[in-house]
Structures are given as C-alpha cells and as structure tokens.
Chains A and B, each alone.
Chain A
Amino acid sequence: MIINGVTIDATFAEAFPMKATRAIITAQNEKWAMISAQAMTGFATSVIACGCEAGIERVLDPSETPDGRPGVSIMIFAMGGKGLAKQLETRAGQCVLTSPTSALFAGIDGGTRIALGKNLRYFGDGFQVAKLIDGKRYWRIPVMDGEFLTEATTGQVEAIGGGNFLVLAESQPQALAACEAAIEEMRKIPNVIMPFPGGVVRSGSKVGSKYKALGASTNDAFCPTLKGMTQTDLSPEIESVMEIVIDGLTKEDIDKAMRVGIQAVCDLGAANGIKRISAGNYGGKLGPFHFHLQEIMA
C-alpha cells in the first residue's frame, strides 16, 4: 500500500492488555492545572522503568469539570491493578496535592474503584473533612493555600498499551516534523495517550539484549547508523526513524488514533522525505492485540 508516495508496510503493531485509569485535575486557571498535570504524568514514558505510562489526554473546558474550573484530563496505564493504584496514589500525593489551587477528581465513573484521594486524607492530620455528594465521596484536606479537594476514588478499567507505528524518513528533521504533525492530530482523539516525550520516541526497543541484566535493548534493525553491520530493516535512503506509541482504553480508540496519525504523516508524503510507515511487533507471540497498518489505513 502506498499513500502519497509513502509505503505502508504489510505488518502490524503488537499491543498488550493493561489497566488504566483517568483523573481530572482542576486549578484556578489552565496554566496551573497544566503544571500539575505535567508533574503527575512526568517520568512515565514506559512501564519498563517508570512503573507506569501516563500522559495528558486533553485540556477541559470549565463546563466539563466537576468544580467548574479549568482542568486537564490525564490517564495512567500500568501492567497490573496493584501497580496502577500505587502509581496513582503516589503521583497524586506528590504532584497534585502539592500543586497550588489544585483539585483532583475521578475521570472514570465505572470500573473497579481504586483510591484517588482516599488515603491522601491522612495528610490532613485529623482536620480533613469528608463530604458525600450525589453518591461520591470527597475529601477536603486543609493545606496552606486553603483546601485541597479530592474525590476518594476513581475507576480502573481494562485497556491496551503498546499500539505503535514507525516513521521512516530521509532525514532526522523530516522524521520529527512528520511525528509532530501526527501527534497534533492524535491528541484530538479521546481515550488515548502518547506517553513518550512530546508523544515521540526515538529509541524504539527490541526484546532482549546481549547483556543478561537487560530485558530490552535498542532496535538495531531500525537504527540507521547500523545499516551496514546488522540485519537491517532499512533501505539505503532512510536516515532517521521515529516511533509513536499509543496507549488507549479500547482497540477502536487506538485504531482511530493510529489512522489519523499515519494519515497526517502521509499528508506530508514522499515530497517531504517520508518514505515508509512500519510498526513494532514481536512476531505476534507476545501481545494479543494486533494493529495491522494496511487494515487501519484501508
């Protein structure tokens, strides 16, 4: 398949089941909601070493937030429910509770309930106040700038992590420009996050390493500087490869995000140095979810 001069490989992205949750952070203005959200989703690019994958889903209008203030919706993904709950709680405690004027609310009503502010209340040292409003429990925790308001729990749901595609370009600036264009479109899709810095990862990995201690190592088949010394997957004109990883609540959400992302890349086309779109997989042996690029773009 070729779109605007860009070859779409007959391959698939392989993804894994994960657990996910969503939280809504509000603040006095969008600037401070975003600061808090960025802190909460920081150092959360990959479960390999961060414990979770997290990202900002979108900015919320005051009319969409529980307390009528500007807000940001964030999502956190982890391999298991226990790990997710721990990450959520520590991040909420260190990044939202501490952030001026912030408040924290559940972003998923159903699902398995996991603690959001339920245990942060103990920071109140006995001065915390519970309020049960419309069946939802809130905690008011006295802090130095006033009160930190947090919902006690949020929902944990089944999700999918590891949807991805690779952008193969003739130069590094062209690969990055294409990925930036893709991310801009993909951020408009609900229920997905792209957890890597700016949504783009330049160090895609393969499973295993020559070093026994490492479970993952550089994806040498897609490293342009190794074209002559490894079993490369790159043609001579490819000078740079970048990857976009997508975590989403459902397969359909990831499908949609991949479609708009790949389309944005293809819109730049061969004229802008974009040669191929590929995807990372492990031969279909590890992850039960397969995102076939040509099916998605059909």
Chain B
Amino acid sequence: MSALTFTLKQRPDQRVDMSPLVCQKLAGLEFADIAAITLQNGKRKIRVDELFNVAGSDTQNIVIKNSFNKLDFIGKELDGGCITVEGDAGAYLGLGMKSGEIEVSGDVGLYAACEMKKGLLKVNGNAGDFLGAALPGNKMGMKGGTILVKGNVGERAGDHMRRGNILIEGNAGDYCGSRMTAGTIAVMGQTGRYLGFAMRRGTLLLWNQPQPSARFNDCGAHTLAFLPILFASFKKLNSKFADSSVAFNRVRRYAGDMSEMGRGEVLVKLG
C-alpha cells in the first residue's frame, strides 16, 4: 500500500485548515470520500481534490507535498500513524497530538506541537514562536512526547510546558521555557533573553552559557547521574542529539525562577 499523498496544486491566497486530514479520521474512508472532504480556506470551504492531487491509499501514512506556510493545523490531534510534510507547514502543526509521528522537511509556524500529549514531531527547518506551548489562555502546554527541531526556534518555546522533551539543535529565542511546569528543553545553540522566565519546575539543558539572570541562583558544578540516561534515550533519533560525542554529565546548575517557586533548573554544559 502506497502512502496517501496530497500534492498541492497551487498555493491558495487564504490559509487552509488541514485538521480533517489526519490518519485516524481518514481510516476506513474510500478514496472518493477523502477527495470530497471539505477544508476551511479563509471564509470559504474547498474540496480536498480541488486543492490537492490525491494519490495512494495508506491512510496511516500521509504525505503532504508542496506544502507551504499557510497550511495550518496539519496533524491536529493526530492519534497514531505518520504524517510527512514536504515543504513548510503553517501554524498549529500537531496541535494536541496524541500519538504517532510528524516530520516536516521545512519550517513550521506558530504554536507547533502546542498542547501535544505524546508522539514525535520532527522539524528539519526552523520553528516559530510558542513551540510546544499552551494555547492562549490555557495553562497547560505540552504534556508529553518529543519535539526535535534541527534549526532555530522562535520565542516562548515550551511556554507552560508540563512534560516531555523539546530538543533544539539550533538557537532558541527569548523567553525559552517561560512558565514551565516540568519537562526538559535542550538547546545546543544560543538562547535569548529571559530564559526560563517564571518557570516553576523543569530542566533547561544548554550547551552554551546563557545571559546572566538575577532570577536564577548558581548551585555550583555537578556530575548528574540522570544525564547519561537522558542522552541514551535520544539515541534512536536521527539527530545531533543521538551523537554520543555531544553528551555530557558535568554541568553548572542554576535554580530558578526564584521569583516563582524556584524548583526549575538551568543546566549548562561544563568542560
């Protein structure tokens, strides 16, 4: 069975809500039924086959070709299966994802993997603001799973994050890990201002020294036993994080945000 492939015919002017095209909603549907699904496109509805050339039949393996940054809500609440996006993705990619895997070859927009519960999201380009965060007004961001970004991420990555891993090979913008309740964000590149702003618990794992902050207190240099186990769990990823030469267990530990409950930590690689 070949992958169910949606190839974009031409880029619409208005944004498209792609949320009906997830594996669990398409399971058991005939080809004609899938082609007849309507998608919200700006203020009008548009048939799938009007927007895409549809091919293939494996609804648990979806490929979106010629994708661009106005295709929103790809993989919304995905519950098993695999979605591959060739090109860029719009906002809310993998919103509330429950399980399964999404891979994007290009960049992704705002709120990618926000309120994600489980599964794996892999972004080969850059990600926008509020990666793995909570929707505006909500208090719980990502609750599980793993996000891997090979490029840079915008501001407020992991805002209100509660559990899971966000792995960033590039740089992170301002307010990385803001208002975090728990979980782990690892950043190999540089981090911006206000790192861990108002974080309550959780771990920010950094390869480079962040800008100093009065909100975090230096707890000294330590060898932490959980780090080898954490790095070992990254081995299955196709990423720099899987490379044993980037792993470390010697860190400087900063506790904060002291203006909040202060149980969070920033661990910075030593040596």
Contacts and interface: CB of A to CB of B under 8 A. Distances in A.
Interface stretch (B59-67, B104-112, B221-229): B221-229
Contacts of B182: 130
Contacts of B223: 146
A252 interface: no
A67 interface: yes
A132 B163 contact: yes
Contacts, number: 45
B201 interface: yes
B192 to A, nearest CB: 25
Contacts of B226: 67, 131, 133, 138, 140, 147, 149
A131 B182 CA distance: 9
A69 B249 CA distance: 13
A68 interface: yes
A131 B201 contact: no
Nearest to A132: B163
A140 B182 CA distance: 14
Contacts of A68: 228, 232
A60 to B, nearest CB: 15
Given A147-B222, A147-B224, A66 B265 contact: no
Nearest to A133: B233
Given A129-B201, A129-B263, A129-B265, A134 B233 contact: yes
A149 B226 CA distance: 7
Interface string A125-146: 0110111111000101000001
B71 to A, nearest CB: 32
Interface in B113-158: 144
B229 A138 contact: yes
B19 interface: no
Nearest to B201: A129
A243 to B, nearest CB: 40
Contacts of B230: 131, 133
A67 B263 CA distance: 24
A149 B163 CA distance: 19
A132 B225 CA distance: 14
Nearest to B264: A129
A103 B263 contact: no
Contacts of A129: 201, 203, 263, 265
A248 to B, nearest CB: 29
Contacts of A66: 229, 232
Interface string A46-90: 000000000000000000001111000000000000000000000
Contact of A149 (B184, B225, B232, B265): B225
B54 to A, nearest CB: 36
A165 to B, nearest CB: 41
Nearest to A130: B182
B46 to A, nearest CB: 41
A127 B228 contact: no
A146 B222 contact: yes
Given A146-B222, A146-B223, A147-B222, A131 B184 contact: yes
Given A146-B222, A146-B223, A147-B224, A67 B229 contact: yes
27 contacts: A66-B232, A67-B226, A67-B228, A67-B229, A68-B228, A69-B225, A103-B225, A126-B263, A129-B201, A129-B203, A129-B263, A129-B265, A131-B203, A132-B144, A133-B226, A133-B229, A133-B230, A138-B226, A140-B225, A146-B222, A146-B224, A146-B225, A147-B224, A147-B225, A147-B226, A149-B226, A149-B229
The 4 closest A-B pairs by CB, nearest first: A149-B225, A134-B233, A133-B233, A103-B225
Given A103-B225, A133-B233, A149-B225, 11 more contacts: A67-B226, A68-B228, A127-B263, A131-B203, A133-B229, A138-B226, A138-B229, A140-B224, A147-B222, A147-B224, A147-B226
